[in-house]
Structure 1
Amino acid sequence: MSESNDAFVRFINVQKSYDGETLVVKNLNLDIAKGEFVTMLGPSGSGKTTCLMMLAGFETATSGEIMLNGRGINKVAPHKRGIGMVFQNYALFPHMTVAENLAFPLQVRKVSKAETEQKVQRALDMVQLGHLGNRRPAQLSGGQQQRVAVARALVFDPDLVLMDEPLGALDKNLREQMQYEIKHIHESLGVTVVYVTHDQSEALTMSNRIAVFDDGVIQQLAPPPDLYERPLNAFVAAFIGENNQLHGKVVEIKGDDCKVQLDDGSIIHALKVNVDKVGDRTTLSLRPERVAIAPPEGQYPNVFEARVEELIYLGDHIRTRVSLCGTDEFIVKIPNAHAHASIARGETVQVGWAMEDCRALDAS
């Protein structure tokens, strides 16, 4: 996806097959800079966790080379790679205290007792658990156990930390709190983090860049704003955030303006992104918050009458489902303070959007 001689982590033409026939990771090329927070995001079976396990050394690449800080590590044992790991199930030793859990990776590395005590206390303070060193994991909440797992991964000052769905077992509020804590720890330490999740909001919140996986291939690698605002294909558009998709055929292309005839006959002006020529089938991608209710006349090239089918109050906005252009699953997000927030179910309203906000992508 990128080429850099000073990349800290490199996947070079890496492939992985478990049965010798089906590739679960296909010709992966990925560079990660030192100090970067990169998230591997995708649905189950997309290959993201397999990539993480190959980097950790728990899986072996079928072909290709994995580099860490300039050296090949394909044949280096996991415990000799100097990598911190955080798992979803915490993997804490139940018979040890919190402090003993953190001391273990230091003892394995033959760190002196005095330095071990110093590093353990520093790591506990980093995750705001400095007063709980004498407790055992069973005496901690889920969120506290996860903090201990993060602290243990960081206690021996690794240059690289791998996190595999680390917040998956936590409830929503705690998960969001831990996202910010991990993000702040990363920013303060400057450690390189490779993070695996299927949770898009988690990836958007925490990452410098996100690699969206599907079918063993990175579909797009980009910073969160680029990924959300400028998806390169229909899969990424659908997977990241809520997204209206309309299907049709390209009937005219003038520069970036791509005129598309939908399956119901409607004509839409879209931004040409991932189509080649007139006659191509395309999926149009349009974010619900980019659609305006009752737009001023002449403001947008795309204006349609829509019937309001459903209104769901969500506090800061009203999620409005309407019928237009042959679908009754079209979503508009109306800010709660908006003058049109009082529309009613069954009403007919005009909706409109800019050409630039409607992306003409591949037909899949």
Structure 2
Amino acid sequence: MASVSFANVSKTYDGKTSVVDNLNLDVKEGEFLSMLGPSGSGKTTCLMMLAGFETATSGEIYLDGRPINRVAPQRRNIGMVFQNYALFPHMTVAENLAFPLQVRNISKADIAQKVNRALEMVELPHLGNRRPAQLSGGQQQRVAVARALVFDPKLVLMDEPLGALDKQLREQMQYEIKRIHERLGVTIVYVTHDQAEALTMSDTIAVFNFGKIQQLAKPAEVYETPSNSFVAQFIGENNMLPGTIVERSGNLCKVMLANGDTIAALAVTDAQAGGATQLSLRPERIVVDPAPDGGDRTLVTGKIVDQIYVGDHSRIQVRVFGGHEFIVKVQNASLRRTFSKGEAITLGWHATDCRALDAAAGHSSGPVQ
């Protein structure tokens, strides 16, 4: 059963430009769905319409099968977590958690029980009497999460909730929120522009651009099999090469590059022979100095531009195909030699690891999200 449904939902502020363009999306009950995209892609506007803080220009939003476009935000029974925590500074932690229960006219005995349970859930049972200013950023965010869950909502919305935290704390909170979600089974719709965050936490990722979903899939599928060149460029790191399809055969195609070289690739695009394409190849899929019996590997010789040490792996920058620069990721544990600038090097990869995608790859931009 779908917990949330967007049915032909559009949003425009000026009557001309669609910030959200005919969105159809179902979020299953108990699912953790991340809306991921650049600034201006429409993801936050979708969340605000679901929360009731924005109104859809057309279409309908459903919560548990009930249309909610004309339901006031406070009557939707949805938990919200914001980036700036939005805690009441004059209240203690316990009072902040009690507030959404009080407005729902819950008895004092039940409030005390639910507040204690929520504090235990986020591992802050000893901080109920402190005020937000006496807490660290991570502790404040835990309280914000607890407040969104304390009244047992079936749906929780999170808008860039970890954006104000430092890297280490942000990663810790990712696992905390994921653990809470798995334990409670509540439906979560999470907005972020951080691809690593979405890949780590989500059951499903909706990649947005120009108000439309570019791909809706599990994290591994979005990363390993991007459906178009925008997703390939936005999720993770990719080596991208423009070219022209010269032949299609089954699920493979041959692509000619600007310098005349031809590469075999997995044909994801619908373009036929003579059509433009963009090749996508993940840096970790490239093998340095492949064995001569590499089977169906594509082999190419290039020149080392630079080698950068990044802890667990090294990034080797190689100039190939008459001027294009490839990034190759090599795990340092398996790196048996160092490389010198200008040194010739052989790279190899399987044709199915190189994806022939659509030629265009635009990004949205602007103040509206």
Q: Which TM-score band applies after superposition, normalised by the shorter structure?
A: over 0.9
The answer as to whether partners of 1:7 and 1:69 remain within 8 angstroms in 2 is yes
Give the Å deviation of 1:325.
Answer: 1.2
Tell me the distance in 2 between the aligned counterparts of 1:341 and 1:46: 43
Select which of 103, 107, 111 maps to 1:112: 107
Select which of 172, 175, 180 maps to 1:180: 175
* 2:37 is aligned with 1:42: yes
Select which of 302, 308, 311 maps to 1:306: 302
Q: Aligned runs of 1:139-218 on 2, under 5 Å?
A: 139-218=134-213
Question: Where does residue 76 of structure 2 map in the other structure?
Answer: 81
* 2:264 is aligned with 1:269: yes
Tell me the distance in 1 between the aligned counterparts of 2:142 and 2:326: 41
Rate the CA distance shift 1:334–1:145 in 2: closer, same or farther, 3 A. same
Tell me the distance in 1 between the aligned counterparts of 2:327 and 2:21: 35
Tell me the distance in 2 between the aligned counterparts of 1:339 and 1:7: 48
Rate the CA distance shift 1:339–1:132 in 2: closer, same or farther, 3 A. closer
Q: Which runs of 5+ in 2 are unaligned?
A: 361-369
Tell me the distance in 1 between the aligned counterparts of 2:337 and 2:187: 44
The answer as to whether partners of 2:205 and 2:217 remain within 8 angstroms in 1 is yes
The answer as to whether partners of 2:304 and 2:342 remain within 8 angstroms in 1 is yes
Question: Where does residue 296 of structure 1 map in the other structure?
Answer: 291
Letter in 1 for 2:88: F
Rate the CA distance shift 1:106–1:259 in 2: closer, same or farther, 3 A. same
Kindly, what percent of the aligned residue pairs are identical? 67
The answer as to whether partners of 1:13 and 1:29 remain within 8 angstroms in 2 is yes
Letter in 2 for 1:352: G
* 2:349 is aligned with 1:360: no
Tell me the distance in 2 between the aligned counterparts of 1:212 and 1:187: 23
* 2:332 is aligned with 1:336: yes
Q: Aligned runs of 1:182-261 on 2, under 5 Å?
A: 182-261=177-256
Give the Å deviation of 1:155.
Answer: 0.3
Tell me the distance in 2 between the aligned counterparts of 1:301 and 1:178: 41
Deviations 1:28-64 (A, max 9, x none): 0000100000000000000000000000000000000
Select which of 85, 88, 97 maps to 1:93: 88
Deviations 1:244-302 (A, max 9, x none): 00110001111111100011111100000013210010000000000000111141441
Deviations 1:216-242 (A, max 9, x none): 000000000000000010000000001
**Secondary structure of 1:337 counterpart:** helix
Letter in 1 for 2:66: R
Letter in 2 for 1:195: Y
Select which of 61, 69, 72 maps to 2:67: 72
Give the Å deviation of 1:342.
Answer: 2.1
Select which of 36, 53, 65 maps to 1:58: 53
Letter in 1 for 2:312: D
Tell me the distance in 2 between the aligned counterparts of 1:105 and 1:301: 60
Question: Where does residue 313 of structure 2 map in the other structure?
Answer: 317
Tell me the distance in 1 between the aligned counterparts of 2:13 and 2:50: 16
Letter in 2 for 1:337: A
Give the Å deviation of 1:341.
Answer: 4.3
**Bigger mean CA offset, 320-329 vs 266-275:** 320-329
Tell me the distance in 2 between the aligned counterparts of 1:73 and 1:39: 21
Tell me the distance in 1 between the aligned counterparts of 2:76 and 2:329: 48
Give the Å deviation of 1:340.
Answer: 4.0
The answer as to whether partners of 1:24 and 1:47 remain within 8 angstroms in 2 is yes
- Higher relative contact order (Cα pairs below 8 Å, separated by 6+ residues): 2
The answer as to whether partners of 2:271 and 2:277 remain within 8 angstroms in 1 is no
**Bigger mean CA offset, 45-54 vs 313-322:** 313-322
Tell me the distance in 2 between the aligned counterparts of 1:155 and 1:169: 23
Query: What is the count of residue pairs matched by the alignment?
Result: 359
Question: Where does residue 364 of structure 2 map in the other structure?
Answer: none
The answer as to whether partners of 2:158 and 2:191 remain within 8 angstroms in 1 is yes
Deviations 1:43-97 (A, max 9, x none): 0000000000000000000000100001000000000000000000100000000
Tell me the distance in 1 between the aligned counterparts of 2:243 and 2:129: 63
Tell me the distance in 2 between the aligned counterparts of 1:225 and 1:327: 31
**Secondary structure of 1:168 counterpart:** coil
The answer as to whether partners of 1:335 and 1:341 remain within 8 angstroms in 2 is no
Query: What TM-score does the superposition give when structure 1 sets the normalisation length?
Result: 0.97
Deviations 1:189-225 (A, max 9, x none): 0000000000000000000000000000000000000
Query: What TM-score does the superposition give when structure 2 sets the normalisation length?
Result: 0.96
Letter in 1 for 2:116: Q
Rate the CA distance shift 1:327–1:183 in 2: closer, same or farther, 3 A. farther
Question: Where does residue 365 of structure 2 map in the other structure?
Answer: none
The answer as to whether partners of 1:334 and 1:341 remain within 8 angstroms in 2 is no
Deviations 1:291-329 (A, max 9, x none): 000111141441111111111111111111110013342
The answer as to whether partners of 1:293 and 1:340 remain within 8 angstroms in 2 is no
